[in-house]
Chains A and B, each alone.
Chain A
């Protein structure tokens, strides 16, 4: 079965329909809302598989279907759908993971009063995300981009009666908006220079040779090529959405939302949209590679941001104690990896890691959701512990996810995709710093994931809630098992020996494999690093489990200063509050002062002038004119009183009279024939 590109809109349309149904369903209609959402998502998954079949039949082609949205005066605004292996793989991933998470949510939110609202928002999100993937126009992509932001806002703040959730939703929305401004500016600039926003349009699109040639040829401020400047502005949007340094602060707070939301939006799909965006406009981002005399290449900036984020996220994750925050910073770090891969020129490695990460990170989040649900919303790992026994399925799947994320060799998908990225970084001829950042993050990732598993599942329960935990129902464990299977198997789509996924993404039909041990030195090094990370993590947390909830963290005992800095996340939130927040307050105070003292004074002066004129006028009036008018006025007043009886003061009455008068007037004109 294959899906022609003209029907690609069906993929986002079905969840949108489900969202519409969900919004009209009363609160009691739980089955209808969740059923519609799951069925729509499942059908979208089948359609995505059809689209994948279409795309794989001719992987090198960008199948497009463009149409005019509307004519505005002389010019037409055009949108379109795009189908290529990148879109198709992403759609399949989003719909598959989405379906599983929807099913999981029916269990997780079973007791929530706003169950239908949740599924309405979730479907809206899925529709916007899928629309973003199939868009063949930067404008359509931007619209969907903002819609996923809106859905994310609504879902983070789903429990809006919690002040922290409401604040987190606001923070996420505003922070990503800073990046979106860059994206908007880049979009406007792109339209101004090329006259189109379609990606591929039979030679006229912005990602095709003609337009790119024009963009590279012009230079702008600071000697940058225009394509570099536009690329960097678009990358700003990706920084905001994908939680990259320095706009990463919103992502950990976004964990205030329900856990399935964290899994779907803030781990698997939406945050990966930034990576997808850069991969989508990759021809634009890499257009300046051939130029020798430019101050910076767009991709170099991407690599630098990615490397910083990968390291920073991993460092902070080491010292967090909330199970979801650890995973959130891990997501930040992994997204940094993907950006790093994009920057060093291997966008296929980035997408490969995106796909594998989506599966195992969704698995980890759902696993943590399962733990939190079982432990009555206790999510502090210091107060958990010993859940290995009572929650076998969750433990097994969580361990698989942990090993995939940590990059345990050969069997798990994370290993292969991470190796692909490190390999690409190794081959980058500009600098080896990203490679070192990546390798350091490998150790840290293995370390903090071991810590997380050891603290949560080993030892003995350290709180009332944890000791009463028991395994959840099948509606929650079956998605975990399916995701765990994928987290293992997906890696084999892209091993160096048979890089099928990479070849298809790049548009080749035949696959050229290499022996796995070709870059053996790097491979061995990273295996050793993983072993070091897991070993040291186990030595610190696994061998001697934490005695009680208040015991010091082993690192905290040895390096209290460092631990405090890491726990405080390097103080980025405080820094922003002290700089951006204070600047904002100062500007507001300045405006207030201007208003109060400058403008107000001017207005008061004018008013005084007017008052003076009034005084002069009154003097003249009373002395000169008052005499003979009083008598006339008395008579007029009498007449007026008799007329005023008709004034009932009710507006309805007046309007009624006007209407009746109108009818009479028209009748007179028509019947009298006096047209």
Chain B
């Protein structure tokens, strides 16, 4: 159980600090730590393959994309000053977020959750591959198509449209 507590600490504290920091780059770097904590959770829960996927996708790839995005939009690297409207929104965000947190905690704590008598059998990479290729073939293909389309879409969105220019600004 201490393992879980340490993982929770490693996951939650950087995430919370990241959401409070002024400098977006620092936030992104802290979130990498938080994502690594989530990978550790997967490890702890016995889903090693997921842990690796998490590290590869989040710690490796998404973090880089985020950093690139930050660098490409560098003029506003800090999140602006604490303007009045920002402060108000932050307070509203805290309030509403707190309400959601309370509701969720209440719901979780008031629900009796039976625990299975035996822990889930470890899923081997082999087993996972068989599952993906047999029962979930369609889903796998759809995910492949989705990723392709998303990549193309991202390229189209981010590519500078030198031909049209900003004429669609009404």
Tally A-B pairs: CB < 8 A: 44
By the criterion CB–CB under 8 Å, are A73 and B48 in contact?
A: yes
Cβ-neighbour of B123 out of A73, A652, A667 (below 8 A): A73
By the criterion CB–CB under 8 Å, are B92 and A656 in contact?
A: yes
B113 at interface, CB cutoff 8 A: no
Q: Scoring B residues 85 to 102 as 1 if CB is less than 8 Å from chain A, else 0, what string do you get?
A: 000010011001101100
B106 at interface, CB cutoff 8 A: yes
By the criterion CB–CB under 8 Å, are A667 and B126 in contact?
A: no
Identify the stretch in A12-20, A265-273, A546-554, A657-665 within 8 Å (CB) of chain B at 4 or more residues.
Answer: A657-665
Which of chain A's residues has its CB closest to B129's CB? Answer: A73
Q: Which bucket holds chain A's interface residue count?
A: 10 to 19
Q: How many Å from the CB of A374 to the closest CB on chain B?
A: 41
Q: How many Å from the CB of A450 to the closest CB on chain B?
A: 52
Which of chain B's residues has its CB closest to A660's CB? Answer: B96
B72 at interface, CB cutoff 8 A: no
Q: A72 with B107: in contact, given A663-B99, A663-B100 (CB under 8 Å)?
A: no
A663 vs B103: C-alpha distance when bound (angstroms)? 7
By the criterion CB–CB under 8 Å, are A72 and B99 in contact?
A: no
Q: How many Å from the CB of A28 to the closest CB on chain B?
A: 20
Q: How many Å from the CB of A103 to the closest CB on chain B?
A: 33
By the criterion CB–CB under 8 Å, are B125 and A72 in contact?
A: yes
By the criterion CB–CB under 8 Å, are B126 and A73 in contact?
A: yes
A71 vs B51: C-alpha distance when bound (angstroms)? 12
A663 vs B99: C-alpha distance when bound (angstroms)? 7
Secondary structure of the B side of the interface?
A: helix
Q: Scoring A residues 488 to 525 as 1 if CB is less than 8 Å from chain B, else 0, what string do you get?
A: 00000000000000000000000000000000000000
By the criterion CB–CB under 8 Å, are B92 and A662 in contact?
A: no
A587 at interface, CB cutoff 8 A: no
By the criterion CB–CB under 8 Å, are B96 and A72 in contact?
A: no
By the criterion CB–CB under 8 Å, are B103 and A71 in contact?
A: no
By the criterion CB–CB under 8 Å, are A656 and B96 in contact?
A: yes
By the criterion CB–CB under 8 Å, are A70 and B92 in contact?
A: no
In the complex, which residues of chain A have a beta carbon less than 8 angstroms from the beta carbon of B107? 666, 670
Cβ-neighbour of B49 out of A73, A659, A663 (below 8 A): A73
In the complex, which residues of chain B have a beta carbon less than 8 angstroms from the beta carbon of A656? 92-93, 96
Q: How many Å from the CB of B5 to the closest CB on chain A?
A: 21
A649 at interface, CB cutoff 8 A: no
A74 at interface, CB cutoff 8 A: yes
By the criterion CB–CB under 8 Å, are A666 and B92 in contact?
A: no
B124 at interface, CB cutoff 8 A: yes
By the criterion CB–CB under 8 Å, are A652 and B89 in contact?
A: yes
In the complex, which residues of chain B have a beta carbon less than 8 angstroms from the beta carbon of A670? 106-107, 110
By the criterion CB–CB under 8 Å, are B100 and A659 in contact?
A: yes
Cβ-neighbour of A659 out of B48, B96, B106, B123 (below 8 A): B96
In the complex, which residues of chain A have a beta carbon less than 8 angstroms from the beta carbon of B110? 670
By the criterion CB–CB under 8 Å, are A73 and B122 in contact?
A: yes
By the criterion CB–CB under 8 Å, are B96 and A73 in contact?
A: no
Q: A73 with B125: in contact, given A652-B89, A662-B100 (CB under 8 Å)?
A: yes
In the complex, which residues of chain A have a beta carbon less than 8 angstroms from the beta carbon of B119? none
By the criterion CB–CB under 8 Å, are A74 and B48 in contact?
A: no
Which of chain A's residues has its CB closest to B99's CB? Answer: A663
By the criterion CB–CB under 8 Å, are B103 and A667 in contact?
A: yes
B127 at interface, CB cutoff 8 A: yes
Q: How many Å from the CB of B7 to the closest CB on chain A?
A: 15
Q: A74 with B124: in contact, given A656-B96, A660-B96 (CB under 8 Å)?
A: yes
In the complex, which residues of chain B have a beta carbon less than 8 angstroms from the beta carbon of A662? 100, 103
By the criterion CB–CB under 8 Å, are B103 and A72 in contact?
A: no
Which of chain A's residues has its CB closest to B51's CB? Answer: A70
Which of chain B's residues has its CB closest to A675's CB? Answer: B111
Q: A666 with B103: in contact, given A73-B127, A74-B124 (CB under 8 Å)?
A: yes
A659 vs B49: C-alpha distance when bound (angstroms)? 33
A558 vs B100: C-alpha distance when bound (angstroms)? 87
Q: How many Å from the CB of A48 to the closest CB on chain B?
A: 32
Q: Scoring B residues 7 to 48 as 1 if CB is less than 8 Å from chain A, else 0, what string do you get?
A: 000000000000000000000000000000000000100001
A177 vs B63: C-alpha distance when bound (angstroms)? 25
By the criterion CB–CB under 8 Å, are A74 and B106 in contact?
A: no
Q: Scoring A residues 51 to 87 as 1 if CB is less than 8 Å from chain B, else 0, what string do you get?
A: 0000000000000000000111110000000000000
Which of chain B's residues has its CB closest to A662's CB? Answer: B100
Q: How many Å from the CB of B102 to the closest CB on chain A?
A: 8
In the complex, which residues of chain B have a beta carbon less than 8 angstroms from the beta carbon of A70? 43, 48
Q: Scoring B residues 49 to 68 as 1 if CB is less than 8 Å from chain A, else 0, what string do you get?
A: 10010000000000000000
Q: How many Å from the CB of A79 to the closest CB on chain B?
A: 16
In the complex, which residues of chain A have a beta carbon less than 8 angstroms from the beta carbon of B124? 73-74
In the complex, which residues of chain B have a beta carbon less than 8 angstroms from the beta carbon of A73? 48-49, 122-128
By the criterion CB–CB under 8 Å, are B126 and A74 in contact?
A: yes
Listed residue (A70, A660, A663) with the most chain B CB atoms within 10 angstroms of its CB: A663
Listed residue (B103, B106, B122, B128) with the most chain A CB atoms within 10 angstroms of its CB: B103
Q: Scoring A residues 628 to 658 as 1 if CB is less than 8 Å from chain B, else 0, what string do you get?
A: 0000000000000000000000001000100
Q: How many Å from the CB of A69 to the closest CB on chain B?
A: 11
A660 vs B99: C-alpha distance when bound (angstroms)? 8
The 9 closest A-B pairs by CB, nearest first: A73-B124, A73-B125, A666-B103, A659-B96, A663-B99, A74-B124, A663-B103, A72-B48, A659-B100
* 27 pairs of residues in contact across A and B, judged by CB atoms under 8 Å: A71-B122, A72-B49, A72-B52, A72-B125, A73-B48, A73-B49, A73-B122, A73-B123, A73-B126, A73-B128, A74-B126, A652-B89, A652-B93, A656-B93, A656-B96, A659-B96, A659-B97, A662-B100, A662-B103, A663-B96, A663-B100, A666-B103, A666-B104, A666-B107, A667-B103, A670-B106, A670-B107
Q: B interface vs A, CB < 8 Å?
A: 43, 48-49, 52, 89, 92-93, 96-97, 99-100, 103-104, 106-107, 110, 122-128
Given A72-B48, A652-B89, A670-B110, 18 other A-B contacts at CB below 8 A? A71-B122, A72-B49, A72-B125, A73-B48, A73-B122, A73-B124, A74-B126, A656-B92, A656-B93, A659-B96, A659-B97, A659-B100, A660-B96, A663-B100, A666-B103, A666-B104, A666-B107, A667-B103
